[in-house]
Amino acid sequence: MLGDLPHVDVAAAAHEHSAHRPSQYQWSLASTAIAPRFSIITPVYDPPLGAFLACADGVRSQTFEDWEWCLIDDCSTRPEVGTTLDALAADDARIRVMHRTANGGIVAASNDALSMARGEFITLLDHDDRLVPTALAQMAATLDSTTDVDYAYSDEAHVLVDGRESVHFLKPNWSPERFRASMYTCHLSALRRDVVTEVGGFRTGFDGSQDHDLILRVTELIAARGRRVVHIPHMLYHWRDVSSSVSRETSTCAPF
């Protein structure tokens, strides 16, 4: 289960894949039977509006266009949150919104987003973080370079409130032993949707460590099937270091 892959030309691979898919405009009008490559799932609860709009800009600026964004408003207390989500969905058919009528927490909201997802791969994005413009293109190129990958993760940068990058987290290749002790893969993560569904999605009672719990179960199934987990050695994700973020806490997801 080594994490090394041959070098791939991101632009060429992404273009070759997209050449066999509808264009952005065509996809938005196509039948729902045409599933996107990536389903980005994002639970939303009262984010700083500026940070969320930067998050949305990161999604909409992706050079690889074969995606959908599943947004769950977990009963935010500020009405402008729901209004902003609806405006984004009205502007781009790839953006899909569900409004919960009661706050359920991160696990319930994540499972709601997962239930909406139609893509081949699930991509995890927090509501105040940002993808670099080539994030999905790099993911697609890596996944297209081999046929047996069910989970890919990238390096990440931690960003201060003022926008300055504070930490570059250059991660090791996949090690199941290390992962049991430390949730080091974090963002950006892309997991094959069928595998996520098979292990039961996010589990109640694991709020705050729901991603670690999910990926432990996913990677155990991947190993049992002789499939692969790969590390993409590029910083594809900017994790905003705000006061409420797990990245500020002493956690297994912090660089070490």
Here the tokens at position 60 are 């909409």
- The CATH number linked to 69 is 3.90.550.10
pLDDT of residue 20: 38
Which one-letter DSSP state was computed for residue 171?
P
Residues 192-221: b if buried by 16+ CB within 10 A, e if exposed: bbebbeebebbeeeebebbbbbbbebbbeb
**CA torsion sign, 224 to 225 to 227 to 229?**
negative
Please check whether residue 256 lies inside any domain of the structure: no
Please check whether residue 3 lies inside any domain of the structure: no
Looking up tokens 């973020």 gives 245
Here the tokens at position 83 are 């209004």
Give pLDDT tens digits along the chain (256 positions).
444 444 444 444 344 444 434 333 233 333 344 689 999 999 999 999 999 999 999 999 999 999 999 999 999 999 999 999 999 999 999 999 999 999 999 999 999 999 999 999 999 999 999 999 999 999 999 999 988 999 999 999 987 666 665 678 899 999 999 999 999 999 999 999 999 999 999 999 999 999 999 999 999 999 999 999 999 999 999 988 654 443 333 334 544 3
How many domains are there within the chain?
1
Q: What is the tens place of the pLDDT at every residue in 130-162? A: 999 999 999 999 999 988 999 999 999 987 666
- Residue 111 CB neighbours (<10 A): 20
pLDDT of residue 32: 43
pLDDT of residue 169: 85
CA–CA separation, 70 and 137 (whole Å): 19
Which one-letter DSSP state was computed for residue 248?
G
Instruction: State phi, psi for 245 to the nearest 5 degrees.
Output: -80, 145
Please check whether residue 254 lies inside any domain of the structure: no
pLDDT of residue 159: 79
Helix axes 10-18, 135-144, angle to 10 degrees: 80
Please check whether residue 5 lies inside any domain of the structure: no
Please check whether residue 34 lies inside any domain of the structure: yes
Q: In angstroms, how far is the first alpha carbon of the chain from the final one? A: 23
CB 139 within 8 A of CB 38: yes
pLDDT of residue 165: 57
Please check whether residue 1 lies inside any domain of the structure: no
Whether pTM exceeds 0.85: no
Please check whether residue 149 lies inside any domain of the structure: yes
CA–CA separation, 189 and 41 (whole Å): 11
Please check whether residue 2 lies inside any domain of the structure: no
DSSP helix/strand/coil, 15: helix
> Which residues form the domain of 128?
10-248
Which of 86, 80, 84, 87 minimizes the C-alpha distance to 98?
Answer: 86
